[in-house]
Amino acid sequence: MGLRKAAGPLISETMDVRPMFQALHMAVDENITFFRDNPSETAKRFVLAFVKIQEHARSLEPTINNFSSVYHIFDFDMGTPANGYRSLMKVVNACLQHIIHKSRYVAANCRSVFFRASHNCAELEAYCMALTQLRALVYFAQRLLTANRHGNLFFEEDERLSEEFLRQYSTMHKGCFYGRCLGFQFTPAIRPFLQTISIGLVSFGENYKKHESGISVAASSFFTSGKYAIDPELRGTEFERITQNLDVNFWKNFWNITEMEVLASLANMASTTVRVNKTLSIPPNTFELPLAADPQLTVTITPPVAHTGPGPVHMRLISYELREG
């Protein structure tokens, strides 16, 4: 496996995160001032969550500034500003933006008689836990950055560091990312879909070992999915257990559940039937494709190459209408 080298002396870009952290500290301070004088148990939980968020923010601000000055080194080229360090910083920023939004909402509505204190406190605690785990990942990224030679993404020699990273990663609490915080780094439109998939997954996993036939697992999962829909913390804990303990056969059975004859027939009755639904396999052969701008010119399309070499591309053609061609 080749090592990913830096593309060259690309242009440095420094992200100014001071306005974001200033907004976070202002919202957090306002909430701490309000809830500190409240003797209720929920108010104490609010204060504890806000204090932890503030602590993480003070640690993350200089770190994010440092990363923003160096992660351009690992971009593929100037036109492709993407690498793992960038992705991690964007996820951290997304988490902080959600915390700012929720903190402002709490500050604006905490005096209302319709304010759901327990619900909002649980959401803040969940994002605080997510920020805790992201801070640990940022620390791992710092170790990786300083342990490698300039421009290298992977360890070259010291296997002990790789083993240490894997050992520390296994101790992280990852369930918080699959509960209330599920999909926070994506657009809000996709979150209901992700929640549906996660609820189905944990329900299927609970009944996977109890039944032999796929339809029995699917039926039992349908009746047990309710508790995971109303309890995000339970869903996150079960999701983490499944991803760590169940074998590859579970994943094959789960993703193939819609291919079962009974469920396929139900889908045909409940939805519109497509006219074309065929599996195709494109052989790994190089071919010439004419350019849309000038059909006299062509571009060479080479087959995708993975670790095992060139291989066919498997796909499914689905069309509502049957067309000629």
Residue-wise pLDDT tens digits, 208-217: 766 555 555 5
Choose among 182, 56, 195: nearest CA to 123: 182
Q: Cα(221)–Cα(227) distance, rounded to whole angstroms? A: 11
Q: What local confidence, expressed as pLDDT, does residue 175 receive? A: 87
Question: What is the residue whose two structure tokens read 């509502």?
Answer: 320
**pLDDT (tens digit, 9 = 90+) per residue, 189-208?**
888 888 888 888 888 877 77
User: Average pLDDT of 11-27?
Assistant: 80
Which tokens hold the place of 273?
């039937």
| pTM (two decimals) | 0.72
pLDDT confidence of residue 208: 73
% of the chain with per-residue pLDDT over 90 = 29
Residue 250: its pLDDT value, please? 80
Can you give the pLDDT at residue 10? 46
Average pLDDT of span 19-23: 93
